[in-house]
Copies of this chain bind each other. A is one copy, B any other.
Amino acid sequence: MYIDTLLSEADWLITEEDYHPEKSQFYETLFTLANGYVGARGSLEQGSQTGSPGTYFAGVYDPTPVFFTELANAPNWLNVKIVANNESIELEKGRILEYKRTLDMKKGLLTQIFRWEGAKGQITRFEDYRLVHLNYKHVALLKGVIVPENYDGPFVVKSGLNGYVFNTGVIEQLLIKHFKLTEYEDREAEGVYLEMKSRLSGISVGEASKLKLSVPSERSVEIDVDKITEVLTFEAKKGQAYEFEKYVTFYTSRDVEDVKFHTLKELNTRVDQGSEVLLREHVSAWEQKWLDADVKIHGDEVAQRSLRFNIFHLIQSANEDDDRVSIPAKALHGEGYRGHIFWDTEIFMLPFFIYTNPRAARSLLMYRYHNLDAARENARIQGYKGAQFPWESADTGLETTPKELGNPLTGETVRIWTGEEEHHIVADVAYAVDHYYVATGDEQFLLKYGAEILLETARFWASRVQYDDRKKAYVIKKVIGPDEFHEHVDNNIYTNYMAKWNISKALEYIDRLKQKHTDSWDKLKKKIVLSSREIREWKTIANNLYLPYDEKTKLYEEFEGYFKLKEIDIS
């Protein structure tokens, strides 16, 4: 009727055809909309008893038990509820006559359509789309129509900013409330404003919203704990379509000093611009992204959609304008891994950005560079030299891997060793720097930042290895490789290979700098206090780093003793 005309061709769409409350959280993750600055899980506008709404701002972490810190769930601005002729529309009750949600990956829109019959036989049609603006990173928009199909009566549309939200999953059954209300205000014609502050990290998040209807209405504002809601009421006539728009803006004290001022100013600007312009600019921003990144598959629509689905979520998750954040393992899509950043970003995600959006790739690497001092501190704590990037990284760049996971109700715990042993991350970051530089030729990045990472990581490895008299080679003991099911192993092939690569590559870059960029080399050498003796040592190590390779079988052993493990038939 209205929304369907917006949608792109089928091979751009992911669709939820029926409403299954038990699948709420699954679709919330699939349907997350983000722009690298903020992510909003694909929860229902109407709310539900089974969903887990989540709003995460990149870099807005707050300390949490066990996991050190986590992306803090911020006020939920999705909320749009309707009371139609004194009947609240609740998909869990009544009868759903039609239901469809569609993620349009081409345009970066999530749409919802439903027709719902309440207990009194009233049938209401609802259609809307939402967007998290790709250009204006501090803006989101919901827009739709509501049609009372077979009844007249008073219509109430409510649009909330709800800060009564929690992080879940840290400890079973426990919820963590990271944000504390600092201010709320009814700005009348300017909408409503809510500001909260993260309890321990002290980051303020301001959100403003304004609800507009296509017909004149009475306006009031409701307050609940940590929540402010605009309420518009009008007399609806049977069969008529009523349009609503919800403009939302947000800033955090990571971005600006006067959060409230900027949030409200942005809201005024965007409301003045109007939803048509916002939509057009959003869609055209996506168009540009797809021009750079789309991969076409002919003859297999499922594969086409699946590939685009992955590309879509990658594009959404990076923010080229903020080089102090990176992409968490679960991006801005949920609370898994508490929003921490792993090697996945450099090894699995970064290549995509290197070839489609090098500015974003550079930002991701700059996140590591900004945390280089913390990586040095991590190395020092563990008794090594150079820079040791943490297995799990968040805001400070210090190690945030939990030491132990457990159920406090049963007392059962599992010791987690990855933070202490999964050292290959250090070489992975170095590898990413080289990869980026080779692909982009970004000399300025290399000289100012990249080379320092390459050298400090090489230095880490030189301090990490030990000489084995029997093997007459340098070995790396007690690590966890990418196969995390084997802990405390010696000479993991991936780790050793990458360590060797890291040191060798550093030596290569030293040669290049010495030859082509003498000034930079002198400066860097001085900054990190690197002597010729240390460089000679690296060479010796690189040339004699043990790789578990069997000449006869031509096989690399995953780690020492792997081939002697008992075969287990798991079929």
Contacts and interface: CB of A to CB of B under 8 A. Distances in A.
A47 B218 contact: no
Contacts of A47: 223-225
Given A87-B220, A88-B221, A221-B88, A226 B49 contact: yes
Nearest to A408: B65
A63 B409 contact: yes
Given A65-B408, A88-B221, A409-B63, A175 B173 contact: no
A219 B86 contact: yes
Nearest to A170: B174
A166 interface: yes
Interface residues of A, number: 43
Contacts of A235: none
A305 to B, nearest CB: 32
A142 to B, nearest CB: 18
A410 to B, nearest CB: 10
A173 B166 CA distance: 11
Nearest to A164: B164
Contact of A222 (B66, B88, B178): B88
B175 A166 contact: yes
A303 interface: no
A92 B186 CA distance: 13
Contact of A223 (B63, B90, B220): B90
A530 interface: no
Nearest to A84: B220
A428 to B, nearest CB: 29
Given A164-B164, A225-B47, A225-B49, A174 B90 contact: no
Given A49-B181, A86-B220, A222-B88, A174 B174 contact: yes
A178 B409 CA distance: 13
Nearest to A85: B220
A83 interface: yes
Contacts of A176: 173-175
A203 to B, nearest CB: 15
A215 interface: no
B175 A409 contact: no
A173 B154 contact: no
Contacts of A66: 408
**Could you say which of A81, A86, A119, A200 has the most chain B C-beta atoms within 10 Å of its C-beta?**
A86
Given A175-B166, A175-B175, A224-B47, A218 B88 contact: no
Interface in A165-189: 166, 171, 173-178, 181, 186
A199 interface: yes
Contact of A173 (B81, B92, B181, B199): B199
A166 B119 CA distance: 32
Interface string A334-376: 0000000000000000000000000000000000000000000
14 contacts: A49-B181, A64-B409, A65-B408, A65-B409, A81-B222, A83-B231, A86-B218, A88-B220, A90-B223, A92-B223, A164-B164, A166-B175, A173-B176, A174-B177
